Structure 1
Amino acid sequence: MAELVFFSGTMDSGKSTLALQTDHNHAARGRTGLIFTRDDRAGAARLSSRLGLEVDAREVDDDTDFWAVVVAERQAGRLVDYLVCDEAQFYSPEQVDQLARLVDEVEIDVFAFGITTDFRTRLFPGAARLIELADRVQALQVQSLCWCGAPATHNARTVDGVMVVEGDQVVVGDVADGSGHVAYEVLCRRHHMRRMTAGAARRRSTGTGFLDLDG
C-alpha cells in the first residue's frame, strides 16, 4: 500500500540529502517520481543539499494543486509512482490534504521532508497537518548539534547576529554563523530558551575571559 511519510528534523540534519537519496533509490528501481520543493536555498525550482548535491525540482507556491499536477501528468501519458516533497513545512494544510488524497485514492507514495517548528518553537501549519495525517512520522537519524555539543532540538533565527523570537514565520535564510543579516542556527532547548547562540557565547567568552556553558 502507498504511504504518506513525513521525515522530520531540525535544520542541518540532512533532510534534503535524504530527499535526494530517496528519489535516487526509487528511480534506480524503475519507478517514476516528481520532486517538489519550496524556498530552497539554491533558488526557485531547485532542490539542494549542503553536501553540494542539487537537482531540478518543481517549485511549490500558494496556488500549487498536487492533485491537479498528477492528473495532468497522467493525462499526458506520464506515469507517476511517487512524490518527493522537500521543505514541506512551508506547504499549506490544504496542500497536505491533497498529498494524502493522492496516497489514498491514486496509490502514490509521498515522501515529505521538513522541519516541524519555527524559530519561535511553534509548529508550521504544513508540518502540523503532516503530523496529523501521515502514515509514519520518522525522525532523521543524523543528529544536529548545538554549539555546546548537546543534541539540537530547536531552530533559532538571528538578525544582524542577534537572536530574535518575533517576526514573520517564513523568512528565507540559511544555517550560518549569524554574521549575515538573516541567518539560522540550531540550538538545544536550554540555549534557545536563554537566547544563547554560538555568536553570543563567543562574545561572552571574549568579554569575560571564560565561557559559562551553563549560561
Structure 2
Amino acid sequence: MPELVFFSGTMDCGKSTLALQIAHNRDARGLQGVIFTRDDRAGEGKLSSRLGLVTEAVEAPRDMDLYAYLVTQLSQGGKADYVIVDEAQFLAPEQIDQLARIVDDLGLDVFAFGITTDFRTKLFPGSQRLIELADRIEQLQVEALCWCGARATHNARTVGGEMVVEGEQVVVGDVNRPAEEIGYEVLCRRHHRRRMTSATARAGALSPDVLPVGNA
C-alpha cells in the first residue's frame, strides 16, 4: 500500500542525503519520481546535501497545489511513480493535506523529509500536520552531535556565534556559517536551555564547581 512517510531529525543529520539516496535507488530500477523542495541551501529548484550531492527539483511555493501539479503532469502524459519532498517543514498545512491526497487518490508513495521544531523548540506547522497525517514517522538514525558530544536534539539559531530566541520562524541559513552571519547549530537540550553554543562555550565555559541555579 502507498504510504506518506515523514523522515524527521535535526539539522545536519543526513535528511537530504537520504532523500537523494531514495531517489537514486528508485531511478536505478526505472522508476520516475517528482521531487519538491523549498528554500534549499543550493538555491531555488535544487535538492542538495552537505556531502556535495545535488539534483534538480520543483520549487514549491506556499500557494502551490502539489496535488494539482501531479494531476496535470500525469494527464499530460508525464510519469510519476513516487514523490519526494525535502524541507517539508516549510510547507503549509494544506499542502501536507495535498500530499496525503496524492497517496490516497493517486496511489503514489510520498517521502517527506524535514525538521520537526524551529529554533524556539516550537513545531513547524508543516511538520505538525505531517505528524498528524503520516502513515509512518521515521527518526533518522544518523545522530547529529552537540559541541559537547551528546546527541543533538534541538536546532539553535545563532547571530555572531550567540544563540537567539526571537525572530521570524523561517530564515534560511545553514550550519557552519561565518560567525557574523545568521546561522544554525544543533545542540543537546541542556545546552539549548542554557543558550550555550560552541562559540560561547569556548569564550567562557562554566566552572565544573559552579552549579546552575534558577531557570538555567
Q: Give the TM-score of the pair, scaled to structure 1.
A: 0.94
Structure 2: give runs of 5+ residues left out of the alignment. Answer: none
Aligned letter for 1:109?
D
The aligned counterpart of 2:181 is 181
Aligned CA RMSD, in angstroms, stands at: 1.7
Indicate whether 1:90 and 2:90 are aligned. yes
Aligned letter for 2:179?
S
**Which SS does the other structure have where 2:110 is aligned?**
strand
Quickly say closer, same or farther: Cα 1:211–1:51, change in 2 above 3 A: farther
% identical aligned pairs: 64
Q: Give the TM-score of the pair, scaled to structure 2.
A: 0.94
Q: CA offsets, 1:57-97, max 9 Å, x none?
A: 11110111111110111111012111110000000000000
1:51 Cα deviation after fit: 0.3
The aligned counterpart of 2:70 is 70
Q: CA offsets, 1:102-139, max 9 Å, x none?
A: 10111011000000000000000000000000000000
The ranges of structure 1 where at least 4 consecutive aligned residues each deviate by more than 3 angstroms after the TM superposition are 210-215
The aligned counterpart of 1:193 is 193
Give, in whole Å, the separation in 2 of the partners of 1:96 and 1:180: 35
Structure 1: give runs of 5+ residues left out of the alignment. Answer: none
**Which SS does the other structure have where 2:204 is aligned?**
helix
Give, in whole Å, the separation in 2 of the partners of 1:184 and 1:212: 30
Q: CA offsets, 1:138-170, max 9 Å, x none?
A: 000100000000000000001122210111000
The aligned counterpart of 1:140 is 140
Q: CA offsets, 1:151-196, max 9 Å, x none?
A: 0000000112221011100001101266132000000000000000
Give, in whole Å, the separation in 2 of the partners of 1:212 and 1:53: 46
Residues 178 and 185 in structure 1, CA contact (< 8 A), matched pair in contact too:
no
The aligned counterpart of 2:52 is 52
Paired residues in the alignment total 212
The aligned counterpart of 2:112 is 112
The aligned counterpart of 1:21 is 21
Aligned letter for 1:89?
Q
Give, in whole Å, the separation in 2 of the partners of 1:84 and 1:212: 50
**Which SS does the other structure have where 1:158 is aligned?**
strand
